[in-house]
Copies of this chain bind each other. A is one copy, B any other.
Amino acid sequence: MKRNTKVSTAVIRRLPRYYRHLSELQEAGTVRISSSALGKSMGLTASQIRQDLSCFGGFGQQGYGYKVDSLKEEIGEILGIHRGHTVVVLGTGNLGRAIIENFRFSSNGFRLLAAFDVSPRVVGSRIAGVPVYHADSLEGFLAEHPVSVGLLAVPISAAQEMGDRLANAGVAGIWNFTNYEIAFDPQRVVVESVHFSDSLLALNYMISQREEERSEEESP
């Protein structure tokens, strides 16, 4: 597929939302959708939708809208969903366990191969069918299995060390849930962090703004 590889971060950040919305539309049986309807359900304008999607070659047909399944396929292709990427989870505390048990890795194009921990209570067991190995065997496992992404759900104190071990063993990406900003050479490994606090602070801002607006409306 030919496409412009210089795509802005903002567009990249929206692509997964497109993919998720299109999956939901597909499950609901929608075959075709206009840019304005797609925009409405995503809180974007029709022109924004057309502009975003044109970055990748423009799949819409004037007056006919987008075919949900082929648009989803194309965006999935751009996102690399079908590349057979694999993932291991480091840390099986509550958060790691919640993700292993509930997150649909396969819907996002990933195979979850294994989990690693140090606690004798879990090492050797399985969580939702996924084997849990001792963290000491991480490098040995990675040498034998090609792993694209390491999910970090270890305590903050172990975050950088375990991240370094993943990077040294050649994983391409680290999905960081530790609330710690891991420092890496971006040429070497891609880090995507899920910072719960950034999300809560943004929410705090939004509700604070609203409180201010309401108090201004109430005051004469």
Contacts and interface: CB of A to CB of B under 8 A. Distances in A.
Contacts of A126: none
Copies in the complex: 2
Contacts of A109: 201, 204
Contacts of A101: 94
A149 B20 contact: no
Contacts of A173: 203-204, 206-207
12 contacts: A12-B205, A16-B198, A16-B201, A20-B181, A20-B197, A21-B181, A94-B94, A94-B98, A94-B101, A105-B200, A149-B207, A172-B207
Interface residues of A, number: 60
Interface stretch (A29-37, A47-55, A187-195): A187-195
A20 B98 contact: no
Nearest to A206: B190
B149 A108 contact: no
A209 interface: yes
Contact of A79 (B16, B21, B104, B208): B208
> Which residue of A107, A149, A204 has the most chain B CB atoms within 10 A of its CB atom?
A204
Contacts of A97: 94, 98
A179 B17 CA distance: 11
A130 interface: no
